[in-house]
Amino acid sequence: MAALADARRRAGLTALYLGIFATIWLSVPVAEPPFGAVLVAASIAALMTAGAGGALVIRGRIEGPLGRDAAADRKYLVIFAGELAAAGFGAVLLAVTGRSAYIPVLVGAVVGVHFWPLAPVLRDPALRILAILVCLAALAGLIAGAMSSVPPGTVVGAGVGVLLLGYAIGALIRGAMTLRASHG
């Protein structure tokens, strides 16, 4: 029972965090209708997913205290700090060199790469697949920016946003399955 509650809390946290970040990424592209309307709808879905993830976390806390792993927490913070430093330094460098349109590409690539070392820390090996897909979305944005008039941020924002939303929805499904397993 405790293992199911822990898995449910982790799934809820994943849905909460990735739902919020999906909303942010989906707000990067500036698009006219009908694509703009699709992005707004996806943002609303991401916020709803984050809310449902938060509800799973709250329900899990009601079921008992959250077990903490101090070593995993430290690793998470180091990875997160490295991600922020790389993205921040790179963004400043791109802005100073007049390439600010490519900031979403860099940030997307850094976000993708950071999922790789997070997979064992968060005990979620599927994060490695997400890492690859997010890096491919960043690469698609780079190619679009270099070879067409499509802004890189449009490709990266929509791509990463949809990927994070999909992963968050998957986490919600996993959390719901643990809820069903604990009651049935």
pTM across the whole model: 0.94
- For the chain (184 residues), the mean pLDDT of every run of 10, in chain order, is 80 96 94 90 97 91 75 95 98 98 98 98 96 98 97 97 98 88 70
State residue 1's pLDDT score: 60
Pick left, alpha or beta for residue 64 (phi over 0 → left; psi -120 to 50 → alpha; otherwise beta): left
